[in-house]
């Protein structure tokens, strides 16, 4: 007889249990629903309680379909384990006819209920709940449906609280680490809905391992601490948080040569990106230099270095964007943990200022330094309007400096300003990454920015973050998901007229992508009315909105709606009003004009404008504009054999090569 197969997908753990328990009532034993199922999300092992022990759900029980399991993953990744029906349909069946997709969802929900709670008895609590208006689905909480990822977050919170009760946090951190280090969370899922949760889990994992290593070091368990730090450096040799702690650990053991070798390796890798190591790690290395080695040293097994140091021939081919990506992930890990677990976040969560976990406490921050940090941030806002990749190194350094200050004990008002600064810089990074088509990473930075803006009560920054997230969704071909973001922005107290106008223009573009001309026109009228009757004010967060930009949005909307007769006058007006220094916006307008001319069959003019856009893009390195030109080339498909179109496609390839080469130099 063939052995029964059990379900192991890539999620982490969920359990469903129902059991008979004695009751104190005169009716004797009654049925109670407590921990019914459990879900291990790293390998999506679903287990169900069978009154004796947890048993894995068999593959055959899913009915031969991936849909119930994907629905389960989607719900576990959604805030509060709840998602709207439309959101689920768009996430899981984006390219399916809505009526057909709705049938798939109904079937998946039925099978999921059967898998998680197979008993046919009527129960007051069901594992999969449908909202009263039948517009959403939700899963119950941890008491009924235990999920290991959520358990890890809860354990880290308990460990954070342990310092107030003199309890030992190490067992809690160790248990959290067992849940967080089982692999990549939902590795096989590519959707935006999975990425956000995956990013949160990865952030927690990174900080958890650093914390665990620090606790081992405090207890003299040096080898355990070293092993954890080496694991982090194997993943990313430029992880300066792990590197700092490892060098510190090696210095305490008088293993100075090894410490310096690790540092030199990271210094070399950072130099390949055009980045200098941060001042705080340089200071530590300087102390290692000035501390003379003892007469004898403990030998270092060679495998430890080989695990971290890459072969020399590989060092010469490091890709700058890939290196930036590692650093962006690591910094976001740190920033999110600081925002969630710092004393600042605690103070805002309960209205009281509490002492928090700090690293090298700082009693006072000179207000002049804060003013300088804000001035630097304002400069980056101005610079990001016309360049992309060239900014990343500097903005990353700036972000890291602000995050490290946020980790330290500060007065309330200083913390609020630092939190707002961190949100601004994260949004600059998100804006830059969006322009480089790093959509998933941009989304993560936008999310952090909004959380920081919420904590700092900065509604204008919050609203701009929502607007940029909705633009990302529009160009990620998920405009329907932008609708709740616009509604959320409308509930905020926005001080800047410019931001309100810009949000209305972004909403208009979203409705154009949804092929809703009436809603698009209404949003454009709202923006125009605001421009006509109220001063725009300062453009603090680089929305770029002005009368030229409004005309550009109008033109882009009508290009999308295939109305070239309305698009062309608007785009030409936008060029007339355009600031000559706004070269990236100029390239966008050239491309949109080219698409409008293509819709009228004017191939020669379309190609001419596209070539002008590509000439500008060689300097701005905007992949967003490249993608627009690629769209234009797609519209020119009927004329692909003409010399003009062939020359354009050749120039498009050349421009992409130039930008890529510039990123790896």
Whether 309 and 374 share a structural domain: no
User: What confidence score (pLDDT) does residue 50 get?
Assistant: 64
Q: Where is pLDDT greater, at 80 or 611?
A: 611
Buried residues in 335-362 as b, exposed as e (16+ CB within 10 A): bbbbbbbbbbbbbbeeeeeeebbeeeee
Whether 198 and 84 share a structural domain: no
CA–CA gap between residue 263 and residue 259 (Å, rounded) = 6
User: What confidence score (pLDDT) does residue 165 get?
Assistant: 65
Q: Could you tell me if residue 425 is inside a domain?
A: yes
Query: What digits encode the pLDDT tens for the residues 252-304?
Result: 777 766 767 777 777 776 666 666 676 666 666 666 656 544 433 333 222 22
Whether 38 and 136 share a structural domain: yes
pLDDT above 90 coverage of the chain, percent: 22
- CATH number of the domain bearing residue 50: 1.10.10.10
List helix spans (H) across 561-622: 564-577, 583-599, 603-620
Domain span at residue 380 reads 354-452
Question: Based on the number of CB atoms within 10 Å of its own CB, is 4 exposed (0-12), middle (13-18) or buried (19 or more)?
Answer: exposed
Q: Could you tell me if residue 479 is inside a domain?
A: no
CA–CA gap between residue 92 and residue 74 (Å, rounded) = 8
Q: Could you tell me if residue 572 is inside a domain?
A: no
Domain boundary among 407, 422, 452: 452
Whether 371 and 393 share a structural domain: yes
Q: Could you tell me if residue 405 is inside a domain?
A: yes
Whether 164 and 140 share a structural domain: no
- Rg (Cα) of the chain, in Å, rounded? 28
- HSE (side-chain half, CA atoms, 13 Å) at 272: 21
Buried residues in 35-72 as b, exposed as e (16+ CB within 10 A): bbbbbbbbebbbbbbeeeebebbeeebbeeeebbbbbb
Whether 300 and 182 share a structural domain: yes
List helix spans (H) across 291-411: 302-306, 312-315, 320-341, 343-350, 367-383, 392-406
Whether 136 and 245 share a structural domain: no
- Left (φ > 0), alpha (ψ -120 to 50) or beta: where does 15 sit? beta
User: What confidence score (pLDDT) does residue 274 get?
Assistant: 66
How many domains does the structure of the chain reveal? Answer: 3
Beta strands in 494-575 (DSSP E): none
Nearest to 114 by CA among 97, 126, 105, 124: 126
Over 70: is that where the pLDDT of 2 sits?
no
Query: What digits encode the pLDDT tens for the residues 9-54?
Result: 323 334 333 322 223 332 232 222 334 566 666 556 777 766 666 6
Q: State the residue for tokens 């039948």.
A: 134
Whether 295 and 170 share a structural domain: yes
Q: Could you tell me if residue 654 is inside a domain?
A: no
- Do 472 and 491 form a contact (C-beta atoms < 8 A)? no
Q: Could you tell me if residue 137 is inside a domain?
A: yes
């Amino acid at each position: 007889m063939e052995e029964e197969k059990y379900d192991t997908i890539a999620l982490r753990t969920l359990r469903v249990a129902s059991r008979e328990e004695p009751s104190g009532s005169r009716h004797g034993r009654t049925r109670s629903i407590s921990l019914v199922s459990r879900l291990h999300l790293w390998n999506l092992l679903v287990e169900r309680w069978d009154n004796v022990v947890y048993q894995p759900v068999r593959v055959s029980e899913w009915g031969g379909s991936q849909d119930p399991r994907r629905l389960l993953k989607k719900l576990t990744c959604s805030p509060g384990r709840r998602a709207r029906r439309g959101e689920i349909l768009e996430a899981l069946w984006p390219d399916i006819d809505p009526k057909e997709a709705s049938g798939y969802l109904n079937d998946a929900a039925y099978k999921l209920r059967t898998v998680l709670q197979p008993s046919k008895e009527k129960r007051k609590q069901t594992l999969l709940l449908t909202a009263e208006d039948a517009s959403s689905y939700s899963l119950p909480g941890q008491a009924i449906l235990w999920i290991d990822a959520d358990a890890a977050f809860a354990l880290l919170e308990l460990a954070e609280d342990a310092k107030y009760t003199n309890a030992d946090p190490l067992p809690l951190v160790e248990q959290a680490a067992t849940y967080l280090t089982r692999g990549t969370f939902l590795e096989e899922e590519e959707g935006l809905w999975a990425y956000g949760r995956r990013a949160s889990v990865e952030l927690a994992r990174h900080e958890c391992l650093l914390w665990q290593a620090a606790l081992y070091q405090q207890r003299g368990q040096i080898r355990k601490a070293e092993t954890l730090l080496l694991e982090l450096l194997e993943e990313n040799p430029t992880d300066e948080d792990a590197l700092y702690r490892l060098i510190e650990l090696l210095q305490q053991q008088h293993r100075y040569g090894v410490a310096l070798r690790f540092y030199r390796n990271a210094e070399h890798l950072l130099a390949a990106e055009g980045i200098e190591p941060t001042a705080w790690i340089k200071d530590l290395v300087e102390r290692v230099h000035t501390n003379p080695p003892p007469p004898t040293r403990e030998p270092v097994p060679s495998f430890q270095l080989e695990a971290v140091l890459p072969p020399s021939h590989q060092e010469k081919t490091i890709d700058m964007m890939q290196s930036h990506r590692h650093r962006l992930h690591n910094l976001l890990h740190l920033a999110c943990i600081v925002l969630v677990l710092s004393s600042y976040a605690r103070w805002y969560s309960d209205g009281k200022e509490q002492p928090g976990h700090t690293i090298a406490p700082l009693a006072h921050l000179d207000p002049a330094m804060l003013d300088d940090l804000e001035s630097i941030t304002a400069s980056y806002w101005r610079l990001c309007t016309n360049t992309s990749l060239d900014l990343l190194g500097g903005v990353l350094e700036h972000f890291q400096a602000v995050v490290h200050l946020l980790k330290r004990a500060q007065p309330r008002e200083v913390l609020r300003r630092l939190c707002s600064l961190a949100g601004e810089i994260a949004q600059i990074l998100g804006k830059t990454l969006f322009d480089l088509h790093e959509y998933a990473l941009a989304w993560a930075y936008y999310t952090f920015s909004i959380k920081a803006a919420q904590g700092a009560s900065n509604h204008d920054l919050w609203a701009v973050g929502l607007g940029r997230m909705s633009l990302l969704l529009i160009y990620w071909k998920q405009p329907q998901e932008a609708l709740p973001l616009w509604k959320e922005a409308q509930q905020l107290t926005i001080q800047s007229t410019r931001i309100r106008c810009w949000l209305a223009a972004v909403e208009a573009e979203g409705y154009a992508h949804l092929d809703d001309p009436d809603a698009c026109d209404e949003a454009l009228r709202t923006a125009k009315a605001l421009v006509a009757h109220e001063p725009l004010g300062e453009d603090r967060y680089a929305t770029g909105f002005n009368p030229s930009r409004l005309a550009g949005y109008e033109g882009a909307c009508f290009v999308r709606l295939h109305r070239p007769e309305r698009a062309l006058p608007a785009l030409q007006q936008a060029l007339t009003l355009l600031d000559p220094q706004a070269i990236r916006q100029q390239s966008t307008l050239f491309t949109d004009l080219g698409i409008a001319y293509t819709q009228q069959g004017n191939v020669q003019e379309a190609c001419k404008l596209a070539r002008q856009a590509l000439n500008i893009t060689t300097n701005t390195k905007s992949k967003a504009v490249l993608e627009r030109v690629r769209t234009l080339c797609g519209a020119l498909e009927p004329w692909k054999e003409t010399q003009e179109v062939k020359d354009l496609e050749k120039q498009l390839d050349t421009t992409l090569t130039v930008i890529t080469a510039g990123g790896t130099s």
